[in-house]
Chain A
């Protein structure tokens, strides 16, 4: 029987679907019986899905700087 700590250490692999069938089964058995670990895995999954959006969108001036840099380079090479 896995401990909670082992479940937490393997939760990334569970979410990334990298566990063998036997390991998955061991995790599922533990999760059926442990609400804290169920909560941990559910919340970790949400967090991992949110991470790509941690960085806000660029401002108008940042976008303008990039586009002007590209345009000036294009006109130089013509």
Chain B
């Protein structure tokens, strides 16, 4: 996806400077990715420990940036470091994520299920969004705060898979490996998370409210 790629767009010369130890470029990398990485860590270790996990991940990233080979996007590479740190933090605390619980999580079904009639046709079709370019969608601060509220309230499995796939760019295979979930489970969870986001934006477009 074009926009997804832009999250870590860096030409070769800039990447070379970053890998050579340019501190101002590293600070820009922090600026662009810090909050997304915090959001990735929160569902795994909780709000109170996410900051520490990401701080430690930045330290590791700084030490290893010269070895970044550019095969993955920078944010994906950073995300992997955060996941490893988060798992290490859980181990230190004698805790673990109960992925088996995730698989049976049925607390929220498909958010758009009630939009169809019995024959599977739209009974409540999507609103015609005033703006449907990615840039315009995010220009609106009130919508951004609605999205933030929704993410905070999202079940932990949906939030984690959404952050891994859609904000950090992990492949499905990597998500399955990291979370020990089956591919079909990951897809169902991701579909539910995206449906919730779609429903929220659709409602916002129709009513101007969260």
Complex Cα distance, B144 from A41, in Å, reads 21
Partner of B30, one of A6, A47, A67: A67
On whether the beta carbons of A39 and B128 are closer than 8 Å, the reply is yes
Q: What DSSP secondary structure best describes chain B's contact surface?
A: helix
- Residue A36 CB within 8 A of the other chain: yes
Complex Cα distance, B30 from A69, in Å, reads 12
On whether the beta carbons of A62 and B34 are closer than 8 Å, the reply is yes
30 A-B pairs in the complex with CB atoms less than 8 angstroms apart: A4-B122, A12-B187, A12-B190, A36-B125, A36-B126, A37-B122, A46-B129, A46-B134, A46-B137, A47-B194, A47-B198, A49-B1, A49-B4, A49-B134, A50-B138, A52-B4, A52-B7, A52-B75, A53-B3, A53-B134, A53-B138, A54-B138, A54-B148, A55-B167, A58-B30, A58-B34, A58-B35, A62-B30, A62-B35, A67-B27
Encode B87-114 as 1/0 by CB contact (under 8 A) with A. Answer: 0000000000000000000000010100
- Which residues of A are found within 8 Å of B32, using beta-carbon distances? 57-58
- Which residues of A are found within 8 Å of B121, using beta-carbon distances? 3-5
- Which residues of A are found within 8 Å of B30, using beta-carbon distances? 58, 62-63, 66-67
A interface with B by C-beta (< 8 Å): 3-6, 8-9, 12, 36-37, 39-40, 42-44, 46-58, 62-63, 65-67, 69-70, 73
User: Count of B residues near A, CB < 8 Å?
Assistant: 54
- Residue B23 CB within 8 A of the other chain: yes
Most chain B CB within 10 A, of A6, A40, A62, A70, is at A70
- Residue B80 CB within 8 A of the other chain: no
With both chains docked as a complex, state the minimum distance between the C-beta of A37 and any C-beta of chain B, in angstroms.
8
Partner of B120, one of A6, A12, A52: A6
On whether the beta carbons of A52 and B166 are closer than 8 Å, the reply is yes
